[in-house]
Amino acid sequence: MLEASPLDGWKLRHEGEELPAVVPGCVHTDLLAAGAISDPFVGSAESEVAWVGRREWTYETHLPAVPSGHEQTDLVFDGLDTVAEITLAGRLLGRVRNMHRSYRFDVTGLGGPLSVRFASAYAEAEAVRGKVGDRPGAYAEPYQYLRKMACSFGWDWGPTLVTAGIWRPVRVERWSTARLARVRPLVTVEQGVGVVELLVDVERTRVQAGLTLEARVGDRRVRADVVGSGAAVRVEVPDAQLWWPRGCGEQPLYEVELTLHHNSAPLDVWRRRVGFRRVELDTSADARGTGFTLVVNGERLFARGVNWIPDDVFPSRVTRERYRKRLRQAADAGVDLIRVWGGGLYESEDFYDACDELGLLVWQDFPFACAAYPEEQPLRGEVEAEARENVVRLMPHPSLVLWNGNNENLWGFRDWGWEERLGGDSWGEGYYLGVLPRVVAELDPTRPYTAGSPWSGSWSRHPNDPAHGTHHSWEVWNRQDYADYRSEVPRFVAEFGWQAPPAHATLRRALPGEVLAADSPGMLHHQKAEDGNGKLARGLARHFVVPEADFDRWHYLTQVNQARAVATGIEHWRSHWPVCAGTIVWQLNDCWPVTSWSAIDGDGREKPLYHELRRLYADRLLTVQEREGRLVVAAVNQCAERWEGTVTLRRLSVQGRELAAATAELAVGAREVGETPVPAELVPAGAEEFLVADSRGCPRAGGAGSEGRLRAVHFPASDREVPYPRPEFEVSVAPGTVTVTAHTLVRDLLLQADRLDPDARADRGLVTLLPGERVTIGVEGWQTPDAAAARAALYCQEPAR
């Protein structure tokens, strides 16, 4: 039977110095553990450790040459970052140049000192650039010249910390006769029968008759003979339970076990969990253009998505528990789709396992982002090899529903001046429209492939045409007001977002001792977007009067503005289902403490946007929208059940007086949107009035404490024009709760729980209370409840100063 054991005892060597090394890990984490560098997440230490990415580093250990009773011994690296030379007892085993691949070396009968010497990623990238020629990219760093996580070189939300090291596990495998070299599971549903077809490649030490495979799925077992180097085994599961996205059904998973035998003796075992479901991508043309709708088990879905970046700039630090926590946060926010963005990684099995269990659909980018990628060697062969390995590795996961060729490169070629600069040089089109779709079609025909995001489906149209395929909406953040989200109805919004700083406690940890200001040195260092603070300031000025030299107020208002911006887009686009079939917010998470577009900051704290997503992505949503100059209340029903009830409409003054009221009946079909016109007498007449729409008895409402009530609030003017009363409210506390009772209109009330205790967390974000209403906010991690402290941590809209 194949035996596998980890290889330990690693040391990190550089210029004669030796440090303990942790594998999996990287140079930076080993240097941090030894106290040799400062934490690059704190202050401006990122710049102080830039030298690390420009040096060579060597990992060393000893491989014992112990007779094992097996015919072959393999040394297996699951991940090497990135360009390295591996030697054993002075003998070259191989040279590698791809972070996204695993490597296997035959070390039968060998032993002695084992060395993995990493070249500087910068040196390698520059060497490749010198060979293939210069290519344009969104950033000056040379990330497109080697197969490495692009955002190691920095991004508009990430630090430049260019890693090296053995970033995934290393093991020694000992085996005889034969082993399972590759297992490719095709999981389908045929007329209610679940089918698992296992296509198997077998590696042999020698030609040997009597090799058989036994596959088991539940209580179903099938055997097959191995002929030559492979075999196929088909297992049928009658009455298989379907795997569904969260909110649509359950997520049953079936254990698949494949055993390779020689005669009756087991040689190797492969185990995975699979789920039975059918996935399609509907890109058919219609009167509005070209659609982009995910269909799972025959159900057409509005995808409620978030973009995922690596959760740490040092990926080896992301544990199974951390993946699960972050993805659980996503699921709790109503998210049903995670897009793994192309400047990052093919994530570990732990990530996809959690998505399988939580019912989170996965859109997987191939790792290409925001640059022209050369198609010459040595890159072309690496691209195909990594694609083949990772497509097969991830195939068992039912959560994986879409392969995507790249992030923004087709758009960049057409719109960012690349075409002229390239002058006919290769830039990646051959990957996205040739190599990658061919690999997916050959290896994983059960899943759809799309060439890029954004992509309109054809060069006959602009790649980012909102009427066709996927669309990235960045003009709004970069140059416009978020109200302009309402000017378009794209078929699928794969990226859009708005910035806000991280939580206060995160800033205090990352910038110790600094007097915080929007433009203080540490804040500027932890703002990586081009003119990021300028865009934040202009976005605020359109809606709020921002007091000068009041950081706390600025911090609060930028958080509010982020939530408002994203809400404006999602409410508008969801109300236009099925023309628009999905939104993917940029972005769920951060990889370090930074001002960014994230809903969860680099320390794992939830911004107000996170809690707003719980409302926006709930199965049922109530929103006030404009249709041809008239207001309507749109009831968005993503449930499989009909939504029937009433909606109460009230026109109120900001002083709290009811000016008019009416009720209307709701009758919205399953997975449909219903619209109720707002009577003329209920339309707010100016900045001193607003509209409130309430629907009760709605069990699929989102957000903590919604208690089955859905509410939409519509103000016809920007906040800077609204004559808010001075907010008056009472605060009471009890263990685990803060209760606020409003005596006036209190708009955008926010308890910043991390100001009470860095470990404290509130169960909701922004809340608007009418006079006489109250809200009870759950608070975890606050050990000494105090009403005065709670009041000091509460923020809301105030009269303009």
Question: Tens digit of pLDDT for each residue in 584-620?
Answer: 999 999 999 999 999 999 999 999 999 999 999 999 9
Q: What is the H or E stretch that residue 63 is in?
A: strand 57-63
| % of the chain beyond a pLDDT of 90 | 94
**Which residues are within 8 A (CB) of 185 and not within 5 positions of it... i.e. 6 or more apart?**
196, 197, 198, 199, 256, 272, 274, 395, 396
* CA proximity to 635, closest of 582, 693, 679: 693
Residue 132: count other Cβ atoms within 10 Å of its Cβ.
19
Please tell me the predicted confidence (pLDDT) of residue 698. Answer: 61
Q: Is the peptide bond before 142 cis (omega within 30 degrees of 0)?
A: no
**How many whole angstroms separate alpha carbon 41 and alpha carbon 714?**
40
In the predicted structure, residue 704 carries a pLDDT above the cut 60: no
Q: What is the pLDDT of residue 260?
A: 97
The whole-number pLDDT of residue 214 equals 97
Say yes or no to pLDDT of 706 above 60: no
Question: Is the pLDDT score of 461 beyond 90?
Answer: yes
**What is the CATH number that goes with domain 620-720?**
2.60.40.10
Is a pLDDT exceeding 60 seen at residue 707?
no
Question: Model confidence at 428, in pLDDT bands (50, 70, 90)?
Answer: very high
Instruction: Find the mean pLDDT for residues 488-517.
Output: 98
Residue 244 confidence (pLDDT): 98
344: pLDDT strictly greater than 80:
yes
d(CA 620, CA 633): 13
Q: What is the CA radius of gyration of the chain?
A: 28
The secondary element (H helix, E strand) that includes residue 690 is: strand 689-695
Measure the CA–CA gap between 118 and 52, rounded to whole angstroms: 12
Statement: residue 88 has pLDDT above 70: yes
- What is the predicted pLDDT for the residue at 151? 98
Give the integer Cα–Cα distance in Å for 65 and 111: 4
Mean pLDDT value of segment 504-532: 97
Return the CATH class of domain 177-274.
Answer: mainly beta
CATH of 3-173, one of 2.60.120.260, 2.40.50.1020, 3.40.50.300, 3.90.420.10: 2.60.120.260
The domains spanning 3-173 and 177-274 adopt the same CATH topology: no
Q: Is the pLDDT of residue 744 over 60?
A: yes
Beta bridge partners of 2: none
pLDDT for residue 674: 97
The residue written with tokens 């309402």 in the block is 486
Residue 548 banded pLDDT, cuts 50, 70, 90:
confident
| Candidate CATH numbers 3.20.20.80, 3.10.20.600, 3.40.50.970, 3.30.360.10; the one for domain 287-499+570-601 | 3.20.20.80
Q: Report d(CA 65, CA 451) in Å as an integer.
A: 48
Is 70 exceeded by the pLDDT of residue 639? yes
Give the pLDDT of residue 15.
Answer: 80
pLDDT digits (tens, 9 = 90+) for 18-77: 999 999 999 999 999 999 999 999 999 999 999 999 999 999 999 998 777 899 999 999
The Cα 588–Cα 336 span in angstroms is 12
Q: Which strand ranges, in their side-by-side order, compose the sheet holding 658-668?
A: 658-668, 643-653, 689-695, 710-714
pLDDT value at residue 697: 65
Pairing of strands 643-653, 630-637: unpaired
| Least trusted range by pLDDT, from 11-15, 125-129, 501-505 | 11-15
What ranges do the domains of the chain cover? 3-173, 177-274, 287-499+570-601, 620-720, 729-795
pLDDT of the residue at 563: 98
pLDDT in tens, 138-192: 999 999 999 999 999 999 999 999 999 999 999 999 999 999 999 999 999 999 9
**Has residue 705 got a pLDDT over 60?**
no
In sequence order, the 6+-apart residues with CB closer than 8 A to the CB of 786 are 733
Mean pLDDT of the chain: 96
Give the pLDDT of residue 67: 75
Is residue 206 very low, low, confident or very high in pLDDT (cuts 50, 70, 90)?
confident
Residues 6 or more apart in contact with residue 172 via CB below 8 angstroms: 4, 5, 6, 7, 63, 73, 74, 75, 76, 107
Is the pLDDT reported for residue 800 higher than 90?
no
225-253 pLDDT tens trace: 999 898 999 999 999 999 999 999 999 99
pLDDT on residue 69:
86
pLDDT band at 14, cuts 50/70/90?
confident
In whole angstroms, how far apart are CA 523 and each of 75, 281, 537, 594?
46, 42, 14, 8
Q: Please state the pTM of the whole predicted model.
A: 0.96
**Residue 61's beta-bridge partner residues?**
114
Q: Which residues carry out catalysis?
A: 408
Cα distance between residue 511 and residue 516, in whole Å: 8
What confidence tier does 703 reach under pLDDT thresholds 50, 70, 90? Answer: low
Q: Which of 580, 558, 559 is nearest to 570 (CA)?
A: 580
